[in-house]
Structure 1
Amino acid sequence: MYVKVLCLDGGGIRGLIILEILEAIEKEAGKPIKDLFDWIGGTSTGEIIALGIATGKTRLASFSY
């Protein structure tokens, strides 16, 4: 059995890079990011992004600049 974990790094403005990468993965997979992973977490900015994704209250595209 495999567990798919998404761990997002912090770093303030670098969160924008994370968002672009996650949006590309989401488009390629054709599914929301939260449906692709069993566990989602992070530190600092990464945790804020992870919280938005995991709760399903925020669309990933709305994070984009």
Structure 2
Amino acid sequence: MADPTGAVWRKSTRSGNGGNCVEVATNLLNSQGVVFVRDSKNPQGGLIAVTAAGWTAFTSSLRDGTLAQ
């Protein structure tokens, strides 16, 4: 099971001030093989752990525009 202890959270520099953002923690990727994702409006409300392959697929689909809205 992935452990978010020690996660360093960050938001995209492209995030506005609207509050509809996610935060990611990639600093534990090498040690645990996951990227943690949480809602910036409710950081105590839970998080998900995404595998390295899943994160790569997600971010690639954002870049190339293939992610369905």
TM interval, shorter chain, is under 0.3
Higher strand share: 2
Higher helix share: 1
TM-score, structure 2 length as denominator?
A: 0.24
Q: Which has the larger radius of gyration?
A: 2
TM-score, structure 1 length as denominator?
A: 0.25
**Structure with bigger RCO (C-alpha 8 Å, 6+ apart):** 1
